[in-house]
Structure formats: C-alpha cells, structure tokens
Amino acid sequence: MSRIETPMRIESAETIVTSPGRNFVTLRITTADGVTGLGDATLNGRELAVESYLRDHVVPLLIGRDAARIEDTWQYLYRGAYWRRGPVTMAAIAAVDTALWDIKAKAAGMPLYQLLGGASRSGALAYGHASGRDVPELLDSIRAHLDAGYRAIRVQTGIPGLDSVYGVAASAAGDGERYDYEPARRTPLPVEESWDTRAYLRHVPSVFEAVRNEFGPELPLLHDGHHRMTPIQAARLGKAVEPYDLFWLEDATPGEDQAALRLIRQHTTTPLAIGEVFNSVHDYTTLLTERLIDYVRSAVTHTGGVTAMKKLLDLAAVYGAKSGIHGPTDISPVGMAAALHLDLAIHNFGIQEYMRHDPRTLEVFRTSYTFTDGLLHPGENPGLGVELDDGAAARFPYEAAYLPVNRLLDGTVHDW
C-alpha cells in the first residue's frame, strides 16, 4: 500500500496501559488532521502480550496508512501476519479496527451505530450479575439489581461444600449499583479455587426454583456454567432447569469442542449461549450451521473488532442465532461502547451483558452511554462516544493480575 497524504492519513498510534481498579489496554490512533479513535485491546490476565503485539508489530504498520480503509486494514493485519487467529492477535486487530470505526464515525459527525445501518431498537436490553454465597444472599442481590433498573438477571451462587465459586462476589451482595466481582487478582501467582461438578449439579436446580418462587415467571434469568461440565452433565443440567425457563445456559462445556454441543442440544430445550473465549467466526461454523446454539457470546474486543463482529452476527442471523455480546468489567468502556453500537443496529440482537465499571475506571474513560429502564444506549456523540483522560490513566499504573486456576477436590486441574 502506498503511503498517502490525506487528512485521514494515520499520523500516530499509541498504546495506553492503565489499571483503574483493573488492567486495561487501549489503542489510540490519530490522523493527520487530528481526529483520534480508540480501540480496546484488553485480554484479562495477559494484557502486556497484546500491548507488545500492538506496539512492536502493528503500530509500525499503521503509520501513513489511510484511516478510512477499515476493511483493507483488517485484512492486511489478519492475512498479512500469516499466523491466524488466537486471542492476542485478534484483540490487537480488534483494537485497530474499533479505533478506525471511531475515527470514521467522528469524521462523519455521527454516532457509530448510524454507520452500521441506524437504530433497530430504542435500547439494548441489559442483564446484570446477581450472586450470593447462599440463596438468601442471592435473593437480596437480585432485589438490589431490580431496584437498580435491571430487567434481566444472571444468577450465580455458592455451592455447599466449596469455598469460593466462579461468579460469586466474595463480599455481601452489594447495592446492585455495581457488581463487585472481579476475578483477576493482583497476586504473584493465580489464586486457586476448588470445584466439584456433582455438588454443583445437585444444587443449581434448587436455586432456580427458589428464584422463580420469589420473583415469578416473567423475569429473564441467565446462568453461566463457565466451561466446567462434560457434555452429558450439561445435558442433564439443561433438562433439570427447563421448568425454570432460563433465558440461556452459558458456556456449559469448554467452547473449543464444538461437536459437544450436539449432544447437549439433543437432550434439552434450554437455550444455549457460548463464545466468550472465541476469537473468530471460524470458531462458530459448526455451532451456527447446525443450529446448536441460540446466542453468540463473543466480545468485540476479542473477536477482531466491529468489522468481524458484524460479519459473525450476520452469519448467526442466517441460522436463527442472536447476539449476547460479552460485557464483563474486563471489557473496557471502549469495548463496551463498540458493543452497544452493534446492539442498537443489528436486527438479531438478543441481550447485552452489563457489569458496571468501577468508578475509577470511569474517571479514565469518559463515556456517553446510558442505562435507563433496563436498556443501554450508546449515546449520540460522534464516534464511539468514549474519550480517554491521559492524566487520569497515568494515576493508575499497571499491576500484574491473574485469573484464578481451578482444581477438582483431588487436586486435578480443571477448567475455570
């Protein structure tokens, strides 16, 4: 590609690593006429690998390129690396792609969702994370989330006999304003948790029974299995919770085994969601073409950005699957905003995960998205609608953090 002299020429690109409550990696691209775009490149627990990939291998390729050529840049970075896919590569490509969309939408003077086809709905239904170490604490957490405006709730609880379990806040349920569960810990080695799938399978149906008894049939309820079951165990859980009408059962089995979903699907009508650890449309081909899942869980941040997510979600639409874009607090407000623009524009929107960010995070990332009556909206600012405050970012230096490692009660390493 020849270097060009246009106002949209990429003048500079820089990575910003900051830790306002947790670590985030952001790419900022600036054009010759001073338009800036942001992209999220945060890969929880492996942040500096993406930062190096961007700084050492991608930024030098961007300088002088035409910022307007988003598809060409995506293909150049994807095909041009020779090495395909993988979370580090795809998070880096995602950051570039998202930043270029931010620039294009700012240059057009429009919020990004307008460039994606305009709004298909007035807002994106969000689900919040309720949790409790036991059922009474969980019910309190659900009440707090309802009071905070959520209209769909993810339900995770402690399991009798296990000390700490994925998705359950260590402290009391909180005020529902913000979910205080942050699994990455700033320890020299990963924290180790313990797991017993049989205890989990015995407990979970009774939890959903209690929740339905308390809150009635209408409230959409979700649950995350976090990759811990075998296919036959997942099939059993899916059947057991059918009376409680889940919105979805997420990550029932480890995602890379696409064929496993065939077995689960044969046995249960509980809707299935998967894909937060995927990074490419190719991770979904069996799942979508065979109609084995109902919801696509990829993050914009980890799946090659807005360009790749739009293609993935369009493929999902062909096979009747909807979006459920990954939105935990380890997706930065930049990645979150990108998700919201897609949520508003695509036809096959399903639901949007929304854990509120730590207030320190929102000091660094100035957002314009809103949460009203259970619906998220990306706002009307041109571009993504997020700005990064460098001074605030500098106040929160990077600190290494790891996600937990999981072991069965006999010490065998298990999926976390």
CA distances from 158 to 142, 163, 317 (A): 15, 8, 36
Q: CA–CA separation, 191 vs 184, rounded Å? A: 9
Closest among 272, 266, 283, 261 to 321, alpha carbons compared: 272
Among 127, 166, 179, 200, the active-site one is 166
Instruction: Indicate whether 224 belongs to the interface with Mg ion (CB under 5 A).
Output: yes
Question: Residue 183 or 335: which CB sits closer to ligand GCO?
Answer: 183
Among 129, 145, 203, 226, the active-site one is 226
Catalytic: 226?
A: yes
Q: CA–CA separation, 162 vs 353, rounded Å? A: 26
Shortest spacing between CB 290 and Mg ion, in angstroms: 22
> For the window 250-289, what string marks contact with ligand GCO as x by the rule CB under 6 A?
--------------------------x-------------
Residues 342 and 300 sit within 8 Å (Cβ to Cβ)? yes
Find the part of the chain contacting Mg ion (CB under 5 A) among 174-182, 216-224, 302-310, 377-385: 216-224
Instruction: Indicate whether 383 belongs to the interface with ligand GCO (CB under 6 A).
Output: no
Residues 6+ apart with CB under 8 A from 38: 26, 27, 28, 98, 99, 102, 334, 384, 386, 387, 388
Residues 6+ apart with CB under 8 A from 92: 41, 50, 53, 54, 57, 58, 77
Q: Which residue is nearest to Mg ion (CB)?
A: 224
Q: Which residue from 40, 97, 196, 330 is in contact with ligand GCO, where contact means CB under 6 A?
A: 330
> For the window 42-61, what string marks contact with ligand GCO as x by the rule CB under 6 A?
--x-----------------
Q: How many residues bind ligand GCO (CB under 6 A)?
A: 9
Question: Residue 59 or 249: which CB sits closer to ligand GCO?
Answer: 249
Find the part of the chain contacting Mg ion (CB under 5 A) among 66-74, 175-183, 223-231, 342-350: 223-231
At residue 338's C-alpha, the angle toward residues 221 and 22, to 5°, is 75
Catalytic: 166?
A: yes
Amino acid occupying residue 220? P
For residue 344, the tally of other CB atoms under 10 A from its CB is: 26
Binding site for ligand GCO (CB under 6 A): 44, 183, 224, 226, 276, 328, 330, 353, 403
Residues with catalytic annotation? 166, 226
